[in-house]
Amino acid sequence: MSEVKLEDIVSLAKRRGFIYQGSEVYGGLSGTWDYGPLGVSLKRNIMNAWWQTFVDSRDDMYGVDAAILMNPNVWKASGHVDTFTDPLVECSNCKGRFRADHLEGDKCPNCGKTGTFGEARQFNMMFKTNVGPVDDDKSISYLRPETAQGIFINYKNVLDSFYPDLPFGIAQMGKAFRNEISPRDFIFRSREFEQMEIEYFVQPDKWQESFDALLADIHEFLKSLGLPAESIHELEVPDDDRAHYSKRTIDIEYDFPIGREELLGLAYRTDFDLKNIQDNAGKNMEYTIKGTNDKFIPHVIEPSFGVERMIMAVLTSAYREDEQNGEKRIYLALPEHLAPVKYAVSPLLKNKPELVAKAREVYDALKKKHGNVMWDDNGNIGKRYRRQDEIGTPYCVVIDFETLDDDTVTIRDRDTTEQKRIAITDLE
């Protein structure tokens, strides 16, 4: 387990504008979270890094962005209508409903009574909705509980447009919705969250090598986010615990403040999904090896990342406390490419117009080049440093009277708190 406490992460996230409770002003909506100005940057930086690593920098990956609402047959064929369930029990005393496999003993966590649970029943986690103005059985659709199916239903489109050689992957990131019985642990188990998924299509007898290669790519990516190797664990999921579609799954677990829990999964889905589409939609999903008559339905390896869990892991690994000048300091040692703000620029004194004008010049130039640059002239310089440390800004740039003479500035490093004098031209 991480030594960082969950309440410290939650408190920093709220205080500094990363993550707020969803609909807080109306008392909240359980299992939903809103991203503030810094949270949205951190989230986008993680998602952009993922897209850059797994899609843009590779020749064998294609991106898609499918509609969230899909034909309900997608979810019938995929098995979600019948089997995407968790066991639910109800307390006969307080009527509280709980996930049976999350309970410890037979004591109700809400009212404290024992022996009040009835039989567990299967609860389907998909959010149902109606598409169009008629509210009947024919108009039922679902908010997607995974982005994966939006990829599978576009496999043939991508094949017909790009004629890729096997193996190749299709990637998608975006919202997913699950009506979790008990959302909990901050953003870890939410009802609305984002996924980043790849369906990697392979020849059936070559699945193992792609599985191993993707596993290695996943570890490289986690390292690039600054997650320490000793906090990452592979769990070979036993037969009984695997999803209905999987022949092999490795869960990548992380030492979160709530304990060792699933960060993402890597599953060998065989031809389960494409075969189901072929059988249910009546469309041929076969792949023909170029220049041969060799036809088959490709098998699939699926790396499936949850964005919220990546954010929680990144915040946990970056959270630090130390002492500076006898005072406790909190800082986020975020890797530069994830930090919501790269440079904070300040005039030493905000009531000196010549310093402010020069600082604005430096700020404008950096902002034009990097975008994620913050103007910060609130409070004294010590307070500004503390604030920037807490949001993980790697560099604070201060313009003082010396700057006016020789075009040098002070640049302070977040992690070491060391300050150096450098030429403005060297800031780049």
* Under 8 Å between Cβ of 286 and 296: yes
- Segment near ligand GAP (CB under 6 A), from 7-15, 74-82, 186-194, 409-417? 186-194
Per CB under 6 A, does 262 bind ligand GAP? yes
Q: Which is nearer to ligand GAP, 156 or 191 (CB)?
A: 191
Tell the residue number behind the tokens 């109606």, with chain if given.
Answer: 130
* Under 8 Å between Cβ of 375 and 363: yes
How far apart CA 99 and CA 122 sit, in angstroms, is: 10
CA 255 to chain centre: 16
How far apart CA 172 and CA 403 sit, in angstroms, is: 48
Question: Pick from 41, 45, 141, 195: which binds ligand GAP (CB under 6 A)?
Answer: 195
- Segment near ligand GAP (CB under 6 A), from 11-19, 271-279, 291-299, 306-314? 306-314
Q: Which is nearer to ligand GAP, 127 or 296 (CB)?
A: 127
Number of other residues whose CB lies within 10 A of the CB of residue 213: 13
Phi, psi of 152 (to 5 degrees): -60, -40
Task: Please report how close the Cβ of residue 84 comes to ligand GAP at its closest, in angstroms.
Answer: 9
Question: Pick from 86, 271, 273, 308: which binds ligand GAP (CB under 6 A)?
Answer: 308
Q: Which is nearer to ligand GAP, 54 or 193 (CB)?
A: 193
Give, as ranges, the residues between 154 and 183 that touch ligand GAP (CB under 6 A).
178, 180
Q: Which is nearer to ligand GAP, 200 or 385 (CB)?
A: 200
How far apart CA 227 and CA 213 sit, in angstroms, is: 20
Q: Which is nearer to ligand GAP, 243 or 365 (CB)?
A: 243
- Segment near ligand GAP (CB under 6 A), from 17-25, 152-160, 192-200, 311-319? 192-200
Q: Which is nearer to ligand GAP, 35 or 193 (CB)?
A: 193
How far apart CA 374 and CA 31 sit, in angstroms, is: 31
Q: Which is nearer to ligand GAP, 7 or 241 (CB)?
A: 241
* Under 8 Å between Cβ of 143 and 157: no
Task: Please report how close the Cβ of residue 244 comes to ligand GAP at its closest, in angstroms.
Answer: 11
* Under 8 Å between Cβ of 395 and 349: no
Question: Pick from 193, 207, 256, 319: which binds ligand GAP (CB under 6 A)?
Answer: 193
Residues 6+ apart with CB under 8 A from 293: none
Task: Please report how close the Cβ of residue 250 comes to ligand GAP at its closest, in angstroms.
Answer: 11
Give, as ranges, the residues between 118 and 157 that touch ligand GAP (CB under 6 A).
146, 148
Question: Pick from 72, 169, 257, 265: which binds ligand GAP (CB under 6 A)?
Answer: 265
Q: Which is nearer to ligand GAP, 173 or 391 (CB)?
A: 173
Residues 6+ apart with CB under 8 A from 366: 343, 345, 373, 397, 427
Per CB under 6 A, does 309 bind ligand GAP? yes
Phi, psi of 55 (to 5 degrees): -120, -65
Per CB under 6 A, does 255 bind ligand GAP? no
DSSP designation for 60: S
Interface residues toward ligand GAP, by CB under 6 A: 146, 148, 178, 180, 189-190, 193, 195, 197, 262, 264-265, 302, 304, 306, 308-309
